[in-house]
Structure 1
């Protein structure tokens, strides 16, 4: 099926079938990765700004239109393996991998072990390792804290506190309750919709790994493995994000030998707020 939303494809992985959108174009393809509270629709405004380039978006297992399994535990390295499956099964070469939020560490780790296939790396309001100004939203911190599992499960199981948590988080990020990005990409993960099941199991599984994954990325940094990433690294951050903030962007810029910082007057979903500026940052000549 092909329309203005791209060609719908399915990529098989051991973790479930992934729903992929492949937008035709020339040159090195873009592969866009989402984070934990949303799905690939966070890129709906960016894709048209990359018109002329081949662009691939997909939902990680358990999210959006991808397969939802009851046993949705997330293994170490799973999201990198899912990304590799998309790149391999679509036969992509010399890709620009872009990660937002929790998709950022996935993009970095994919690039570190596939440096010969990555021509450019884009990091949008994300993190990699610990940094002095890094803060996680209260809802994400609750879901990540191993000593608060019962409390987190109780909040998520009851629709009323679940809704309150989402609205509190939106306000903290500076988004109103009726913002389109919430309606399209975030609320369906927590409550489902006519077209998809909720992603609560997957959200709990991935956020439950957060603190462990941050330590793993600290180990990647200390091992020197990031030295393999010599391609251009564009770090485009919305400066009005109180959590994954400009200090985090500075930390990221210092991790790579060929990084460039782009400060954009936007909030957390910078690619939604200012898609043209993000596209310009990601396509600017090295």
Structure 2
């Protein structure tokens, strides 16, 4: 059972990349800082946060997503997501945190821990990827958006609202979310990025910018692996993967576990790509066991 809800503050943090929106839930002990991937935002942690009480939980919207500043055009710079995270930690005066990374932000969390080990008490990775691997099955939609050979086709598809809806519907069949569930993760966090909400524009510019870096970033991650950097990471690493995810699967989770010297893997039953949404109480328990 979740503890009594702590107060959540909506903050705006100024960074070199613009204004970022941050959800900051009051608490004590080692703060949990939770990151989102694409194409969603910080609201993927709405169900999880109450189960982490009394710990402080900070979740942020990266530039261009959620309620953060929208650029008219964007080319994502190497290391920009890590720099955005660093700016948030500095602004909130968080010296040492537990990082939770999901989907594309799993790589952000790992990279940040490699560069700033003194600030990371531990890593929790939820249905993410790091580097290329035979077990990596990227969603067809993401592969299309990330492949520069198909940029004109991808631009044409996402510019058409009907085709955007079709792409989401196709992807959900394997990710396991319901588009028409008003209480589901899609309604809360995914659909607003694709279509906007309550006067807030969509996040298509940010989605296209982040997916455009996909393949170069996989190559950079492979280099970190080849250099043995992940094996040298001293922060404890916990993987919690929804076992019903047909893309970022248990097989991939076991591969990622092997990249670290001492990582713990938990497969979350009755959960797909968003275990923090499908099984928030169990996911919170695994985060607690990771050392907060």
CA distance in 1, matches of 2:66, 2:290: 33
On the 8 A contact 2:141/2:167 being kept in 1, the answer is: yes
CA distance in 1, matches of 2:125, 2:173: 24
2:81 is aligned to 79
On the 8 A contact 1:28/1:93 being kept in 2, the answer is: no
TM-score scaled to structure 1, two decimals? Answer: 0.96
The answer to whether residue 221 in structure 2 is matched with residue 213 in structure 1 is no
1:193 is aligned to 197
Kindly report the root-mean-square deviation, in angstroms, between the aligned alpha carbons of the 2 structures. 1.3
Q: CA 1:285–1:163 in 2, change beyond 3 Å: closer, same or farther?
A: closer
CA distance in 1, matches of 2:7, 2:275: 21
TM-score scaled to structure 2, two decimals? Answer: 0.94
The answer to whether residue 248 in structure 2 is matched with residue 244 in structure 1 is yes
CA distance in 1, matches of 2:89, 2:247: 30
More deviation, 157-166/3-12: 3-12
Q: What is the CA-CA distance between 1:170 and the residue it aligns to?
A: 1.0
On the 8 A contact 1:5/1:21 being kept in 2, the answer is: no
CA distance in 2, matches of 1:50, 1:269: 16
The answer to whether residue 274 in structure 2 is matched with residue 269 in structure 1 is yes
Structure 1: state its 5+ residue gaps: none
CA distance in 1, matches of 2:231, 2:173: 38
Q: What is the CA-CA distance between 1:173 and the residue it aligns to?
A: 1.3
**Residue 257 of structure 1, aligned match among 235, 240, 261:** 261
Q: What is the CA-CA distance between 1:11 and the residue it aligns to?
A: 1.2
CA distance in 1, matches of 2:174, 2:231: 35
On the 8 A contact 1:230/1:256 being kept in 2, the answer is: no
Q: What is the CA-CA distance between 1:195 and the residue it aligns to?
A: 4.7
Structure 2: state its 5+ residue gaps: none
The answer to whether residue 122 in structure 2 is matched with residue 125 in structure 1 is no
CA distance in 1, matches of 2:19, 2:162: 31
Aligned residue pair count: 284
Q: What is the CA-CA distance between 1:176 and the residue it aligns to?
A: 2.3
After superposition, what is the alpha-carbon deviation per residue over 1:86-138, rounded to whole angstroms, capped at 9, x for unaligned?
11111112200000000100000001111111111000000111122111111
CA distance in 2, matches of 1:254, 1:87: 29
2:44 is aligned to 42
**Residue 229 of structure 1, aligned match among 225, 228, 233:** 233
CA distance in 2, matches of 1:94, 1:224: 24
Residues 1-286 of structure 1 mapped to structure 2, 5 A cutoff: 6-179=8-181, 180-265=184-269, 266-284=271-289
CA distance in 2, matches of 1:276, 1:204: 33
CA distance in 2, matches of 1:39, 1:285: 23
- Partner of 1:12: helix, strand, or coil? strand
- Partner of 1:125: helix, strand, or coil? strand
CA distance in 1, matches of 2:243, 2:88: 31
Q: What is the CA-CA distance between 1:212 and the residue it aligns to?
A: 0.9
After superposition, what is the alpha-carbon deviation per residue over 1:204-251, rounded to whole angstroms, capped at 9, x for unaligned?
000011011111100111122224421211100001001100111111
